[in-house]
Amino acid sequence: MPLSRQDCVELIRELLGLLREYDPGALDLVLEATERQDDPRRYLVSLLGAVTKIYSERSGGMYGPILDRVNHFVRLENGSPVRGLSIELSPIERELYKADELDLAELPDRSEFLTELKVIMAEIVRETESPEGR
């Protein structure tokens, strides 16, 4: 059965609740990145779009292909490949987190999460765009 406006309101609540429970830091980013919509169906789809975008930005799944590309065109002076990509922390972050850098290779791979979320998103779009769901 197509999703009604009320169904979408419930799903928005569920999604925000899950983010609050599992990743409160991401919740803030998602809300900031989501365009406000009056129509809950559109808002739900926008929210899911923001979730996928934010998690794809920090998924280690992107790391390998990026390093491969860099190594295709950049070499060390001795001809060896570039060893990796990292984020250098600021002095205060070093003190806080007791680490000098964050190796991007250590980021969790969110590829499966993103794939499954995109399936759900496609389903929601299909259900909200069907004539009965309007």
Partner 1 sequence: MTRDQIQSELRNIFSRHLGISSATTKGLVPQTLPTGKLYEAYVLGRVVEQLATREGYSLYLVGGTKIQLKTSGGPINRNYPRIELRRYGACVAELWTDIQFLSLSYCNASPRTITKGDFHELDILIVDAGANGYPRFDQVWLGLNAKTRDIKRGCSGRYLASGANSVS
Work out how close the CB of 37 gets to partner 1 at its nearest, in angstroms, rounded to a whole number: 15
The one among 31, 37, 64, 123 contacting partner 1 by CB under 8 A: 123
User: Which structure tokens are listed for 40?
Assistant: 């809950």
Binding mask 1-40 for partner 1 (x = CB under 8 A): x-x---x--xx--xx--x--xxx-xx-xx--xx-------
User: Which structure tokens are listed for 25?
Assistant: 């830091």
Q: Which long-range contacts (CB under 8 A, 24 or more apart) does 87-96 make?
A: none
If one asks whether residue 64 binds partner 1 (CB under 8 A), the answer comes out as: no
If one asks whether residue 97 binds partner 1 (CB under 8 A), the answer comes out as: yes
Helix axes 40-57, 24-33, angle to 10 degrees: 120
Side-chain half-sphere CA neighbours of 96 within 13 A: 5
CB closer to partner 1 out of 38 and 95? 95
CB closer to partner 1 out of 39 and 76? 76
Work out how close the CB of 66 gets to partner 1 at its nearest, in angstroms, rounded to a whole number: 5
User: Which structure tokens are listed for 92?
Assistant: 């205060």
